[in-house]
Amino acid sequence: MALIRNPLRGRGLPTRDGLARGDVRSDPEPVRRLLRRCPVAAPTPLRDMPRLADALGVAELSLKDESGRMGLGSFKALGAAYAIARMAAERADSEGRQAPPESMARALSGEVFACASAGNHGLSVAAGARVFGARTVIYLSEAIPEAFAERLRRAGAQVIRAGGDYAASMAAAARDAESKGWILLSDSSWPGYVERPTRVMEGYLVAGAEVCEQIERPPTHIMLQAGVGGFAAAMTALFRARWGSAPSIVVVEPEAAPALMQSVRAGRPVKTQGPVSNMGRLDCKEPSHLALGELAREADYFVTITDEACADTVAWLAESGIVTTPSAAAGVSALHCVDGQREALSLDERSRVLAFITEGAERR
């Protein structure tokens, strides 16, 4: 496991040309108000895991289990689907009055949403678009398993294969959306494209707000896995707003895709190179600019973990009845394989650790 203490903590990235600017929101209430109109919106559990905590040499381990979120089995259900629902509500509601359900269901009729996906973001886009009468086109790299492509098709999406990695599929989605008049809904951000990914990140805040209500006392350490960084940035913004600077926030990436770590080291967004990772949802070689800006200022540490270490953690969690994927277990895996870095992270038998199981097991 590689680890760096954030050299930009409290300062953030230096201002420079080519860097998207914007704030990551920390108020979950607008999202919650809209989700109250959704019949499948319900909190996910925060699980106290004393046996695992003892095995890891910490006082407490709390796992926020997103495997049942809104029937999609991932925290991503809160992101794109919220952004789409917000768009539908803005079109359907009038004069401060909520539109009836039948109007909401037709609010985006005729629209087409396009995105690239390394995983559950695509499912969230497909689910949200279908609810409000729109179509979806999802771009997948050749590295994404065909079983996942079939899940997207069953959710009503058209699937297009484009390129060998996430960046190539992202470029294809952006190009086709521009030429065909579709709505590009990415969970990443770059110069000139910030409003929609800001809405996606805003949706994720609900998971963190639930944690604050469910946990007995603030943790000392928060482990946050990251791909482009949207989820980690949203959680960081909310937890800093609620708990201040006390918890140590640790951002966890695959060794094969250390885009956030390398960008923080460089003081600018960096595109990394590496093999395909078994943490497919996190296998993103470029960071979201808005997410990077938040994490560069507010995260305390960045670590990378190997595919082998994460696979070991998945098997270890399964022994305790937590069946999940390497992407979802990455935050726990950083704690599981931390042995040589415990002192650097100030982890000891008094530590109270919060981590997220961001999705359930792979579905066929």
pLDDT tens digits, 227-239: 999 999 999 999 9
Residue 97: its pLDDT value, please? 63
> Domains of the chain, with CATH numbers?
2-74+205-357 (3.40.50.1100), 80-186 (3.40.50.1100)
What mean pLDDT is predicted for residues 92-100?
66
More confident site: 363 or 59:
59
What mean pLDDT is predicted for residues 85-99?
77
What mean pLDDT is predicted for residues 325-349?
95
What mean pLDDT is predicted for residues 289-314?
97
Residue 120: its pLDDT value, please? 82
Q: Is the pLDDT of residue 363 over 90?
A: no
Q: Which of 18-22, 61-65, 304-308 has the lowest mean pLDDT?
A: 18-22
Q: Is the pLDDT of residue 37 over 80?
A: no
Rounded CA-CA distance 89/84 in Å is: 9
What SS3 class is residue 304?
Answer: strand
Residue 101's pLDDT band (cuts 50, 70, 90): low
Give the mean pLDDT of the chain: 93
Residue 21's pLDDT band (cuts 50, 70, 90): confident
Is-above-0.95 flag for pTM?
A: no
Residue 90: its pLDDT value, please? 87
> What percentage of the chain reaches a pLDDT higher than 70?
96
Residue pair 104/92 in contact by the 8 Å Cβ criterion: yes
Q: Is the pLDDT of residue 75 over 90?
A: no
Residue 364: its pLDDT value, please? 59
Q: Is the pLDDT of residue 96 over 70?
A: no
What mean pLDDT is predicted for residues 343-351?
97
> What percentage of the chain reaches a pLDDT higher than 90?
76
What mean pLDDT is predicted for residues 178-203?
95
Residue 18: its pLDDT value, please? 85
Residue 38: its pLDDT value, please? 74
Tell how many helices (H) and how many strands (E) occur in the chain.
13, 11
Helix H or strand E encompassing 248? strand 248-254
More confident site: 177 or 34:
177
What mean pLDDT is predicted for residues 60-83?
90
Residue 170: its pLDDT value, please? 93
What mean pLDDT is predicted for residues 46-59?
97
Helix H or strand E encompassing 62? strand 60-65
Q: Which residues contact 358 (CB under 8 A, 6 or more apart)?
A: 66, 74, 75, 225, 231, 281, 327, 328, 331
Q: Is the pLDDT of residue 253 over 70?
A: yes
Burial of residue 169, with CB atoms counted within 10 A of its CB: 0-12 exposed, 13-18 middle, 19 or more buried: buried
Q: Is the pLDDT of residue 139 over 60?
A: yes
Rounded CA-CA distance 246/236 in Å is: 12
Q: Which residues contact 329 (CB under 8 A, 6 or more apart)?
A: 310, 313, 314, 317, 357
**Alpha-carbon torsion (47, 50, 56, 59), positive or negative:** positive
What mean pLDDT is predicted for residues 160-180?
94
